[in-house]
Chains A and B, each alone.
Chain A
Amino acid sequence: MSSDIILKIEKLKVKISGKEILKGIDLEVPRGSIFAIMGPSGSGKSTLLRAINRLWDLYPDVEVEGKILLEGRDVYQMDPHELRKMVGMVFQRPNPFPHMSIFDNVAIGPKMHKMVKSKEELERLVEWSLKRAYLWDEVKDDLKRKAGRLSGGQQQRLCIARAIALKPKVLLMDEPTSALDVVSTKRIEENIVELKKEFTVLIVTHNPQQAARISDYVAFIYDGKVVEVGPTSEIFTRPKHELTEKYVLGKV
């Protein structure tokens, strides 16, 4: 069993400015799955994601307790830069480097991590990433265009390309469609399902329908605690907890 669990979270507690946001989270994320974390705003979903790639390290008022194991390794014992290379992240709002070209946005990560040996290899990697993010066809003729000039949906797909260019093991997605329109959302959802073939995706969403549409497993988080976790089909058809049922029906 353990080798099929790529990410294991044990008794995770996070305090921000002394206030406990996560109150002991335990989760096991199976390899090659789309694992959705759903819950109302303020339940601690984003806080959880940011603990996994240690983005909280830079905030002196945030305390993290508990264990997060990636491939059996404690992430808080790892070099944070190596960890973040293994764990990609896509944010709530598209955040490409607006002053850089489309190409450079994708290339900067692999370049900084010295993943490629030649210009040709880098170009191949950028193309591979943009294709995986379903952006290649729209931008292939003008890779020098500034990323800030793209539409919101395109920017978000560029951010996906930027994240997967590092060939991470796990892709964290923090409500990646919350700032996008319906059409862009649909494309990104289709994209995420495709990405599952190569990456494990951990996606936070405040929209239970989205979790139902794309995920294999789902955890329902409420007030900093896991209320229920299991295969998506089960959670949505036979929720064990009353609160989960209410949430799934849109009553929380």
Chain B
Amino acid sequence: MRKVHPGILAIYLLSFLALGLLLWVLGAILVNGLPVVLHYGVQLFTANIPPPVFFFGPPPEVGLAPAIVGTLMIVFIALLISFPIGFLAGVLISEFYYTRLAKAAEHVASLLVEVPTIAAGIAIYWLIVVPTQGFSAIAGSVALSLIMIPYIALYTAEAYRKVPKLIKEGGLALGIPYSKVLFKILRGLVAPGVITGVLIALAKAAGEAAPLLFTAGWSNKVSLDPFQPSASLSVLIYKFGFSSQELWLKLSWAASFILVFMIILPLIIISKLVVRKHEF
């Protein structure tokens, strides 16, 4: 029999272990969440969150709409805030690397990626929630932006760095201003990298509960007003996951299923496809 080096064996075993754990977690969400989603069907996506059964008896309608709408709205506003800032910071880091500002931006971005997300939540709590005297979806968006900006900035910087200098100079030598070379001519070359960064940032932000706990608040009803408190899937999972009520526990699994299988995984898969399609 062929001898396998114990180190190699260990690598294989640990890889399978890691993969197994991931599949176990995904499997648990699928097994527990999917039946709930199938049981309630469409009303899960349209109805409001039911009040506690304990006080009010079995609810006529069971839904997660406020959390789904809340997550989409909070994340969308966070994207509107973080994309321009993150993109420009990325261009700065890559193209003006020799300036002090660019070096500072790169350090801050690398640092922000590592900051515990709950710290972003507490910071925005003190900076926005306390002064405005209330939770709001937009405060949640700002907290998520802090998490998204560094991802978008670092992916954008990487996308611009990957463009050979020779191609940039080809544009400049035609007398095209630097800004137009960066934003127009190279657009098609950097787009896959930038889009990947945006999608990864979205996937990351959509799954975060910690930054929203002290910022976005909670609402049982669908609200499209960004200045009002709003529910979100991640916070719902956190809240209902600890509940002793069976219905709320079930909703927590359903929310996990929607978040992971209908929002985060598709974002990650699309981001991989974008990169593959544009490699040449």
Contact = CB atoms under 8 A, between A and B. Distances in A.
Binding partners A and B: yes
Interface of A: 53, 55, 58, 60-61, 80-85, 88-89, 91, 93, 95-100, 108-109, 112-113, 148, 159, 162-163, 166
B174 A85 contact: yes
Contacts of B185: 97, 100, 108
Given A60-B98, A91-B166, A97 B175 contact: no
Contact of A95 (B98, B164, B178): B164
Interface size class of B (residues with CB under 8 A): 10 to 19
Contact of B167 (A55, A97, A166): A97
Nearest to A162: B174
B19 interface: no
Contact of B175 (A61, A81, A93, A96): A81
Interface string B206-224: 0000000000000000000
A55 B280 contact: no
Contacts of B25: none
Contacts of A96: 170
A110 to B, nearest CB: 9
Contact of B173 (A60, A61, A84, A112): A84
A109 B166 CA distance: 17
Contact of A109 (B176, B188, B189, B280): B176
A99 B188 contact: yes
Contacts of B280: 98-99, 148
A82 B175 contact: yes
B172 interface: yes
B171 interface: yes
15 contacts: A53-B173, A60-B98, A82-B175, A84-B175, A91-B166, A91-B170, A95-B167, A95-B169, A96-B170, A98-B189, A99-B188, A99-B189, A109-B176, A112-B174, A113-B175
